[in-house]
Structure 1
Amino acid sequence: MFEFAWPWVFLLAPLPWLLRRLLPAADSGEAALNISFIAELQHLTGQHARARLPSWRQQLPFVLLWGLLLLATARPQWLGAPLPMPASGRDLLLAVDVSGSMDYADMRWEDQQVSRLSLVKQLLGDFIEGRQGDRVGLILFGSRAYLQSPLTFDRQTVRFWLDEAQQNIAGPQTAIGDAIGLAVKRLRQRPADSRVLVLVTDGANNSGELDPLLAARLAADEQIRIYTIGIGADPQEDGVLGMFGFNPSLDLDETSLRAIAEASGGEYFRARDSQELQRIEATLDRLEPVAQNPTLARPSLPLYPWPLSAALLLSLLLVARTLWPGLSQRLRAVANRYPRRPS
């Protein structure tokens, strides 16, 4: 179906005529003969001097040019039949802790010692790629919480922003409550029974303005399920640090994370190594998607380049017609100055 996106543009059609009627005549810059008694001559003859308008044949190209510009500005387009858009998955927000402690290298991936954040990037990146049909978003939080990527079907972009995340980018501390509050703000406008927040952290809430348990209750009121993942290795049993009972996960507040998950109807998971984190992702993958109302979209083919190209071509022809007499005279003058020598 053919239609104009902005049909009101055609109301500007009489604009050149109105400007000519309302604005004073432009000064041509040429010398003019002023006669002091011209007003008396006009009174005797009953005629008044008027600006001489071009003939309709001279005005026709400019009228056509103005019409083509209006036609292109009105954005003509061809609309196809409505097509359903896939919208059968969940609205899933990932809240990833990027505080300073996430740089601690107590995790292993492919027989290499890696930091907690590096492992989260690797495994959650694959998790994001598998969310076909889901809208996925990303929140990064440290001392403050920031929405790095809104809910979108573009999973590759969300994974890119996760891969680009750096520790301490949002501050060295951990604002779990603010991260949950930001997720509630973003998910509350989405359909109920499809709102999911996956929160990954290795510490306890020690920053921010919102209490995590209060934020979890707000999430429960908005029917948002929160799945919390506590990351960090167990205490070492060998080595110098093991002799002193060093616990790399000492700051992890599992009690609060478990309470947050239970308050919102979700679950708490503990990830001590890459294998456990993979099993957690497999469990999250088994969450049953909830059907949403399908959205319809009509593909549109823009047609404005055609009248716009015609207007450009016509303007070039008008400029060429104006410049050609002077150019031809110069060419003849040059030819007369340098006559061709007889062979």
Structure 2
Amino acid sequence: MFDFAWPWMFTSLVLPWLFRRFLPPATAINQGILFAPFISAYQEKPATALNRFQLHSLRNWGVFVCWILLVIAAARPQWLGKETELPETGRNLILAVDVSGSMEIADMGDGQPNRMEVVKQVAGDFIQRREGDRISLILFGSEAYLQTPLTFDHTTVANLLQDTVIGIAGRETAIGDAIGMAIKHLKHLQHASEDAVLVLLTDGANNAGHVQPRKAAELAAQQGLRIYTIGVGGAPREIQSFLGMRMINPASDLDEETLRMIADLTGGRYFRATDRDTLQEIYNQLDKLEPTLKNSRVVRPTTELFIWPLGLGLMISFLLALRWWRTD
């Protein structure tokens, strides 16, 4: 669709007529500045009245066309593409996922893969459901890394989560550094702390990093960042041994007390996932606790076309000036 951004500029088309109508004509200067009697020998024959009329008419029409083209360029002609609906973020959602060595334990149900694979399946579906939110991904082990900044491109975030390798950030667990990384990322974005949520998933205790979880949680609370913590790991169960039945706890390294403390300090909530179904239910609850806001706005891609009439007008004006100089 063709349109003009500033159609009111067309009112300036009458300016030359107004100037000619109401301003006095310029006084012609007929007296030469330098008298050189010998120059007449080199002058061409004077133009006939018809030639002068044709030249004057050509100049007038050329100037008139140039003025029209410049006014068209000033009105900003544009080509508008098809309407596109863009989502407007309701909140900023950061996912912090533990990729330490213990995530390779396969205890999330009979026949289920390791903890990391279960998280990839369930969290990947959760990411795709968060239409309208900007999502960021943080991976942490011995160190915390920002894998993706906040973005509407949920497919890319989900794909990067699927490509995550256990131990890529180290074999230990730096919970405090992961929270600190989320705070640092939000601090660099304008109004990012408004409706900001961090979902932190881990299967262990803080045993690495530079920031203690309590200190990081206090800083998050000051920034208005709500943190939902998820502890993953199989439930205690009995197994057969040489000495008979005995109870084992696959998630004995999980520091649930610290995860509850983090959630309480920031206004979030702590969840415990022992298998794929409970993890799926946790993410379903998060959808209810932090529902997506599906606001959107309609935009049209715009291509500016003013350069074409502007370039044509300048080219004609250059040719007129050249013609004028050669004849005069």
- TM-score w.r.t. the length of structure 1 is 0.61
Paired residues for 1:51-200 under 5 Å: 78=79, 85-108=86-109, 112-188=111-187, 189=189, 190-200=191-201
| Greater alpha carbon shift after TM alignment, 240-249 vs 271-280 | 240-249
CA contact (8 A) 1:203 1:252 kept: yes
- 1:81 to partner: Cα distance: 10
Following the alignment from structure 1 to structure 2, what is the Cα–Cα distance between the partners of residues 275 and 240?
A: 28
Q: What residue number does 1:280 align with?
A: 282
CA contact (8 A) 1:141 1:170 kept: yes
- 1:279 to partner: Cα distance: 1.2
Following the alignment from structure 2 to structure 1, what is the Cα–Cα distance between the partners of residues 308 and 125?
A: 45
Change (3 A) 1:84 1:100: same
Per-residue Cα deviation, 1:134-191 (whole angstroms, up to 9, x for no partner): 1111100000001111111111110000000010000000000010001111223344
- 1:243 to partner: Cα distance: 3.7
CA contact (8 A) 2:186 2:193 kept: no
Per-residue Cα deviation, 1:255-304 (whole angstroms, up to 9, x for no partner): 00000000000000000111211110111000244869977855223669
Change (3 A) 1:243 1:77: farther
Q: What residue number does 2:226 align with?
A: 225
Following the alignment from structure 2 to structure 1, what is the Cα–Cα distance between the partners of residues 112 and 87?
A: 40
Q: What residue number does 1:209 align with?
A: 210
- 1:114 to partner: Cα distance: 1.2
Alignment identity in percent?
A: 55
| Greater alpha carbon shift after TM alignment, 283-292 vs 141-150 | 283-292
- 1:77 to partner: Cα distance: 6.5
CA contact (8 A) 1:187 1:224 kept: no
Unaligned stretches of 5+ residues in structure 1: 4-75, 308-343
CA contact (8 A) 2:132 2:293 kept: no
2:263 corresponds to 1:261: yes
Paired residues for 1:243-258 under 5 Å: 243-258=245-260
- TM-score w.r.t. the length of structure 2 is 0.64
Following the alignment from structure 1 to structure 2, what is the Cα–Cα distance between the partners of residues 292 and 281?
A: 18
Q: Which has the higher contact order (CA 8 A, sep 6+)?
A: 2
The 3-state SS of whatever aligns with 2:112 is strand
- 1:247 to partner: Cα distance: 1.7
Letter in 2 for 1:107: M
Following the alignment from structure 2 to structure 1, what is the Cα–Cα distance between the partners of residues 305 and 241?
A: 73
Q: What residue number does 2:315 align with?
A: none
Per-residue Cα deviation, 1:86-129 (whole angstroms, up to 9, x for no partner): 21422100000000000001113xx5231000000000000011
Following the alignment from structure 1 to structure 2, what is the Cα–Cα distance between the partners of residues 97 and 162?
A: 11
Change (3 A) 1:211 1:239: same
CA contact (8 A) 1:89 1:289 kept: no
CA contact (8 A) 1:101 1:202 kept: yes
Aligned residues: 237
Change (3 A) 1:288 1:206: closer
Following the alignment from structure 1 to structure 2, what is the Cα–Cα distance between the partners of residues 192 and 247?
A: 38
Per-residue Cα deviation, 1:52-74 (whole angstroms, up to 9, x for no partner): xxxxxxxxxxxxxxxxxxxxxxx
CA contact (8 A) 1:138 1:158 kept: yes
Following the alignment from structure 1 to structure 2, what is the Cα–Cα distance between the partners of residues 192 and 146?
A: 19
Following the alignment from structure 2 to structure 1, what is the Cα–Cα distance between the partners of residues 89 and 211?
A: 32
CA contact (8 A) 1:174 1:206 kept: yes
Q: RMSD in angstroms over aligned alpha carbons?
A: 3.3
The 3-state SS of whatever aligns with 2:260 is helix
CA contact (8 A) 1:194 1:289 kept: no
